[in-house]
Structures are given as structure tokens and as C-alpha cells.
Structure 1
Amino acid sequence: MLFKKILLATDFSQCAEQLWNCAGELRELGAKELVAVHVAPLTGGRLSDHAKEKLDQHLAELKDLGFEVRSLVRTGPAAQEIRDVAEEEDVDLVLLGAKGENRIREFFLGSTARDLIRICDKPVLVEKFKMLEDEQECAAVCTRKFRRVLLPLDFSEDSLRIYELVRDKLAPWVDEAVLAHIVDQGSSKKVVEKMKNEAQDRLAALRLNLADAGVETEIRIRTGIPSKYLAQIAEEDAVTLVMMPTRGAGNVTELLLGSTAENVARHSSRPVMLFPVKK
């Protein structure tokens, strides 16, 4: 499995407690080692001791699943500390949660997840949660994360690298894939149609390659702001995971609003796995 060593970051919030179940799912996919980290607001003392006790309680359960486990409590700016631990431990994936739905059914990314996406050089899986009807409990939006994946493709090297990862490494765990391309709405109608036709041809070729790997694939092409339509496609197609790079080929409108990846992670109701761009 590609993600053998996982870093799970938790703030012990109600929804973050569900992350342990997600870690168990990754174990079924071949993950072997898990490091759990909590970033405490104060240095040392009873608060840090209590945090480590809580981490170790959860890790005992994961150890029973076959994980090699270790817990860490750090202090400082949360995103920076999580990034530093990810580098020090040389993990393959960072797992953390976005806040769940509130009363007006809006998803919140949270400052820690947002900042981590911007600075982390490791893949980051942002789990999404929904509040149950009584708003007293959280539940993960999706299980079997790789069952139906959305692959946004702008045909940049980094987006194609993720496509190849699914085709060559993850295909045994992927039942279905949705290949999506968003055409810039700033071009003339004639140019837009030409770009859509070209994208259709390229995506059709990629679909055939995935079919050879045993993955059923559908194609979605839209015109407009990438993050808006990617989040919409993720919902309409009921995907279990969005996999995309932190930066793509670029879109003028999107640049004014922030990166496509960050906006998708913020607005999508589905879990999002973000990969750092190749340097």
C-alpha cells in the first residue's frame, strides 16, 4: 500500500474522535504504522499529560488492529507543528478532519486544516463529517474511501501524476472513478467548445487506460469556476473521495478567490485528499 505510515492529528473535538475509525479503514488498505499527534495550547503540565493519555487510549485499540503506534503531544501553532511532525516522522499521509455541518448545512474547513494544506509537503486527507439529526453526534460522510474517487484533471503534470497513482497503485481498491475537467469560462464560445472537445478526447483515452486496470470510469466536463463545479460534481456523483494536487495549471477567476484545492477542500461535502505539487 502506498500510505504505510500515517500521521493522525486530533484536537479531541467531537468530530475529530471519528478519525480513529478512518485510521482503522486505512489499516485494511495496508497501512502499518500510525503516529497520533495533539497540539496543546500550553507547555507541559496536566493538560499535556491528559492529552497523551487520551491518545494512548485510542492507540491501544489501533494496536489491536495490527498498527505500530506512537503518540506525541506538541505545543505551538497547530498547522506548523503538524507539518513539522509529518516531516520529522517522514509519514506518507496526514489525516485530519474538517468541522461538520452546522444548522445551515455549511461545511467549515477550519484554520488548522486550511493552513496545513498551504504549508505541508506530504499528502493530506481532510476527512469530512456530518452532524446527526440531534446535532449531538458526528458521523463520517464516507466509508471505503477509495470506492468511488473523483479525479479533477487539468492535464498538468501533477494532476496526471495522481491519475497514474490510481491507475498503477490504487486500482485494486477503486471500484469507480469520475474524471472531471473544468474549462475556463473567460474564453469565447468558439474557444470554449474547442477546449471541451479536446478535453473529451483526452479524458476518453484516460478512461480506456483505467478500464484496462479494472476501474469503471465516467467523464464530467463543465465550464466555469473549477472549485464550484468540482464540489458540485463530487456531491452529484456521490463520490467517496476527491483526489487532487494543491496547485494546478491555473484559472484566472480561481486565482482571485484562492487556490482551487483549498476551495474544494472548504466547500466539498466529501473527503478530499490533497497532494503536494512536484518541486
Structure 2
Amino acid sequence: MTSLTSILVATDFSIDGNNAVRRAALLAHEHGARIRILHVLSAAGCKPLRDWFSPTLDFDLKATQARDALRRLAVEISGAYDLTASVEVIVSDPFETLMQASEHVDLVVLGRRGHGRLRGLLVGRTVDRMLRICRRPVLVVKTSVQGTYRRVLVPIDFTASSDAAIRVAYRMCRDEGMHVFHAINSQREAVLRDADVPEHVIRETRVMEEGAINARMRRKVARLGVDSTPMNYALAYGPPVRSTLRHAQRLGADLIVAGKQGRSTLGSFLLGSVSSRVLAEATCDMLIVPRPRDTSPPQAVEAVAPRLKSEPYIDNAALARSAAAHAGALTQGHWINNRARFVSRRSS
């Protein structure tokens, strides 16, 4: 997404769906983007009700009522956000319609869940399928609109997916700044403790690791060319889901921006496991950014995600022996244990 110029938002007139429309309108106002509001009537979902309650139910009447509701919503956001929105009601399959419409926009905005009486756009697995397959950034709105996003959290794992997330987050909130976050897997530290490595050596190792990762985060942001905006960096030890949620709560984040890997519904780091769980448990909005098309699937990042069971077995004994040797080297080489050495020189 080189620039935010067009936004697609879908609603089923539920609370979440209409909040998504208002959030999309605010973003369109802030970025000068075009906005299209879409409502999809599923003929397959309406047929059972039509046959059960009234065989003569006029489906065109439902479409007319939906258009009227969309126009009222468009009038509301036009007055509140000083913009003109295009509205459209389509009778078709919700998922297929939304996928086709998303190909021509920069951002898709959806409500997390719907509460309509009919089987509408945001009922069932439509949102989840969009998050997994859509090749555009998808913003899932879970809260009412209180204003612009001010505390944006971007968890990264140093893959192309998280690079894309940083770029999109920067374009959406460049004036407010971002909080870049990385979760460090504490597995190695646990192995060091099991090997009875001295505590001061473990602390020294942690400080060195944190310093290296912090520097890597800053280099990454600088290479992406987004370091002109206010930027905050944070690290935490622990599982990525729990660490991200805890940091978001501590920060008071109103938006989490995360990348996803590929289009597969299996085995992806961020939408197969981590981001789907973050999305389910986070109380704020979440923006899912797809991996760029021109990059190969990223490798697993050992510092963030634990190894899968199918990966080679970790020889803890060998790691412990290495840690013990490393501990001895650190103890001998630590600046506290160094002694000043004076060499007398005979003056000639």
C-alpha cells in the first residue's frame, strides 16, 4: 500500500458493522481517501426465512430497505467527517463479493461480528476467511470511534510480513508515532537455569541479547525509511500472544498492527496462530497486513516463536555444556574481574 487513497467498508447494520463504517469514514477524512460502503444480501441465507414465514416475501423490498439504511448512514458520516461516500447493495455471496471488491482498494474495514437477523455479511466465517485470504490490509473494528488512533502497537518478528506491517502502520499514524514491540522466547534462558549457570551470567546474557535485538529493531525501522516519525521500542520475554496482549494493555493501545504470512490457512505464524489469538482476546481494533507478493515465505524466527515439534530436536545437554563454557568465559572476561596491569619500562 503505497498510499491510502481508497477504502472499502462492509456493514450488516449491526453495532460492529456501523462502527466499522464510522472508523473507515474517519480514516478517509484524515487521508483524503475515497470510501465505498457495501452491504451484501445473501439470497441463500434469506431463502429459508422466505419459505418459512412468507412465501410471498419480496426480496427486492429487502434490498430497497438496505439501500435506504445505507443512504442514512452515508448522510450521517458525510456530516460528521466532511466527505462523500458511495453506497451499494449487492445480492450475492458475501465472501466472494467482498474478495472481488477488495482488489480495487487500499484498505478493507470490517466489524468483528454481526448481529443481524438474516445471514448477512459479518455472520459466520466471512471475516475470518477474509483475514486469511485477502491480499489487502484488513482492519477489524471492535470498538466505537473515539477519535484518531494515538497508541499504535506493532509486534514484529523481523520477517517480510512484519516489515509490511511497519510500513502500513506508519502511513496510518505517522503524526502520532508507533510502538514497535518484540517478544523474546525465554526457552534458552530456561535451559541456562537448568544447567545451573550462575545467575549473574544469565543476567549478563540477557542484557547482551536485549541490546542486540533493540539495535536490530532500530536498524530495521531505519532501513524501511519510517524513522522520521516518533518511534518507541519495547521488548518482553515470554510467549508472543501473552506478551503482546500484556504490552497492549499496559500501553493502552487502541490499534494493533500485525503481519500475516502467505495465503495458507495452516501453519502461518501470524494468522494461523498468533494474530488470530491476539485478535480474539484484544480489546482494541486490529489491522492485519498481508505478506508482500514478491517475497518468499519467511522462516520461523527462533527468538519469537518456539520450535515446532517436527523440527530437529534441541540437544539441551550440548546447549548446557556450551552455556557452562560461555559462563566461564564471561566470568573471566567480565570487566569487574579484570585487574589493571602495569608494565614497568626502563627508560633509556
Whether the TM-score (by the shorter chain) exceeds 0.5 is yes
**2:30 matches 1:29:** yes
Moved more, 152-161 or 69-78: 69-78
Q: Which has the larger radius of gyration?
A: 2
In structure 1, runs of 5+ residues without a counterpart are 101-108, 130-138
Aligned to 1:161: 164
Scaled by the length of structure 1, the TM-score of the pair is: 0.76
2: CA distance, partners of 1:184 / 1:58:
46
Contact 2:19–2:141 (CA under 8 A) maintained in structure 1 = no
Q: Is the 8 A contact 2:153 2:178 kept in 1?
A: yes
The alignment status of 1:183 with 2:197, answered yes or no, reads no
1:128-160 C-alpha deviation (Å, 9 max, x unpaired): 12xxxxxxxxx34x5312x11111110112212
TM-score (norm. length: structure 2): 0.62
Offset of residue 180 of structure 1: 1.1
Instruction: Please give the alpha-carbon distance, in whole angstroms, between the structure 2 residues aligned to 1:150 and 1:55.
Output: 32
Match of 2:148 in 1: 144
For residues 110 and 144 of structure 1, what CA distance do their matches in structure 2 show?
29
Deviations 1:232-254 (A, max 9, x none): 22122111211111229xxxx98
Check 1:256–1:268 CA distance in 2 against 1; reply closer, same or farther (3 A cut): closer
Is 1:200–1:221's contact at 8 Å kept on the other side of the alignment? Answer: no
The question of 1:46 aligning with 2:34 is answered no
- Indicate the SS of the match to 2:283: coil
Contact 1:178 1:220 in 2 (8 A): no
What is the deviation of 1:83?
Answer: 1.6
Q: 1:105 maps to which residue?
A: none
Structure 2 CA distance, aligned partners of 1:20 and 1:158?
A: 27
- Structure with greater strand share of residues: 1
Task: Say what the alpha-carbon RMSD is for the aligned residues.
Answer: 3.4
User: Could you say if the C-alpha distance between residues 22 and 52 of structure 1 is closer, same or farther in structure 2, counting changes exceeding 3 Å?
Assistant: same
Please tell me the residue identity of whatever aligns with 2:99.
R
- Output aligned runs, 1:7-156, within 5 Å: 7-42=8-43, 44-64=59-79, 65-87=81-103, 90-99=104-113, 111-129=125-143, 139-140=144-145, 143-145=147-149, 147-156=150-159
Conserved? CA contact 1:151–1:242, under 8 Å = yes
Query: Percent identity, aligned pairs only?
Result: 22
User: Could you report, residue by residue, the CA deviation over 1:149-198 in whole angstroms, capped at 9, with x for unpaired residues?
Assistant: 1111101122123324445x456422x32211122355464599475553
Deviation at 1:118, TM superposition (A): 0.8
Q: Deviations over 1:241-279 (max 9, x none)?
A: 11111229xxxx986993322222222111111111112
**Separation in structure 2 between the aligned mates of residue 24 and residue 171 of structure 1, nearest angstrom:** 15
Please state how far the C-alpha of 1:216 moved relative to its aligned partner. Answer: 4.2
Instruction: Assess, with a 3 A threshold, how the Cα gap between structure 1 residues 21 and 148 changes in structure 2: closer, same or farther.
Output: same
How many Å separate the matches in 1 of 2:134 and 2:270?
22
Q: Does 1:274 align with 2:288?
A: yes
**Residues 1:6 and 2:10 aligned together:** no
